[in-house]
Amino acid sequence: MAFQQFKPEKKDVIFGIHPIIEAIEAGKEIERILLQKDHQSPQLKELLGLAATRHIPYQKVPVEKLDGITKKNHQGAICFISAITYASLDHVLQAAFESGKAPVVMVLDRITDVRNFGAIARTAECCGVDAIVVPTRGSAQITGDAIKTSAGALNHIPVCREENLKNVLTYLKECGLQLVSCTEKGKESVHKFDFTTPVAILFGSEEDGISDEYLKKSDAILKIPTVGKINSLNVSVAAGMVLYEMLRQRTV
């Protein structure tokens, strides 16, 4: 898994094994931990065990990567604090159904660019999406930069971080949501799909799109009609077009 390149703000970063352990035990929302490759110590094993217990994603990287983030004594460990508190998907769906609304959930399969993620969150909040679901690993880090890119939308729209997207998709379908994958490989136009029903809208990675196993679980595979020589759109632009079609249908 490639580490998303960005310049973190000082308030986003904690370095040193003991400070990271203290942050976890204090209940801080940890976005991700970076650990130095080939570095071993009893304290590091304690940190790894704690991260595994709390389902906190971590990645082993060369020491040069850590040195590039901070010049201070990091002891082979750096963690990023999330700029938000993650929400429970169960609670979000329950609240939506109890309000009488047909829920709209966005599922992002490995969207790693912070600017794309922020732009998608901004559009999702404007269009009334109930929650954004991201995988624990392989997703853009939600730092202060992401909040800024979203124009503050990430302070208002629930984001749910899930360990296994495949299980989440099954759960969403069991809850009565249609699973809709949006890709240039789709056969049906987004304009012909009924977005007024409970729906989970899936968008894929900037590099290789939606995973094949998720496409197989989809109730519909949709495309945005284009007439140019380039048939694929930036994922944040595509998300905006699909969400606007959803909003148009629900407000006519």
Tell me the pLDDT of the chain (252 aa) as tens digits: 333 344 445 557 898 899 999 998 888 888 889 998 887 888 888 898 888 888 888 888 898 999 888 888 888 899 988 888 899 999 999 999 999 999 999 999 999 898 999 999 999 999 999 999 999 888 888 877 788 889 989 999 999 999 899 999 999 999 999 999 999 888 899 999 999 999 999 999 888 889 899 999 999 999 999 888 887 789 999 999 999 999 999 997
Locus of tokens 């983030």: 69
Same structural domain for residues 108 and 44?
Answer: no
Which residue range is the domain that position 230 belongs to?
89-251
Q: What pLDDT, on the 0 to 100 scale, is given for residue 4?
A: 38
Tell me, what CATH number does 180's domain have?
3.40.1280.10
Q: What pLDDT, on the 0 to 100 scale, is given for residue 1?
A: 32
Total structural domains within the chain: 2
Same structural domain for residues 178 and 109?
Answer: yes
Same structural domain for residues 201 and 239?
Answer: yes
pTM score, whole prediction: 0.83
Q: What pLDDT, on the 0 to 100 scale, is given for residue 187?
A: 85
Q: Residue 124: inside a domain, yes or no?
A: yes
Same structural domain for residues 33 and 50?
Answer: yes
Same structural domain for residues 113 and 54?
Answer: no
Residue 77, strand partner residues: 35
Same structural domain for residues 75 and 111?
Answer: no
Q: Residue 56: inside a domain, yes or no?
A: yes
Task: Single out the residue in 58, 81, 104 at which a domain terminates.
Answer: 81
Same structural domain for residues 39 and 94?
Answer: no
Q: Residue 3: inside a domain, yes or no?
A: no
Q: Residue 2: inside a domain, yes or no?
A: no
Same structural domain for residues 110 and 158?
Answer: yes
Long-range contacts formed by 66-75: CB under 8 A, 24+ apart: 66/15, 66/34, 66/36, 69/8, 69/13, 69/15, 69/34, 70/13, 70/15, 72/15, 73/15, 73/16, 74/15, 74/16, 74/36, 75/15, 75/16, 75/17, 75/43
Q: What pLDDT, on the 0 to 100 scale, is given for residue 5?
A: 40
Tell me, what CATH number does 69's domain have?
3.30.1330.30
Task: Single out the residue in 81, 107, 131 at which a domain terminates.
Answer: 81
Q: What pLDDT, on the 0 to 100 scale, is given for residue 11?
A: 57
How many other C-beta atoms can be found within 10 angstroms of the C-beta atom of residue 84? 19
Task: Single out the residue in 34, 64, 81 at which a domain terminates.
Answer: 81
Q: What pLDDT, on the 0 to 100 scale, is given for residue 41?
A: 83
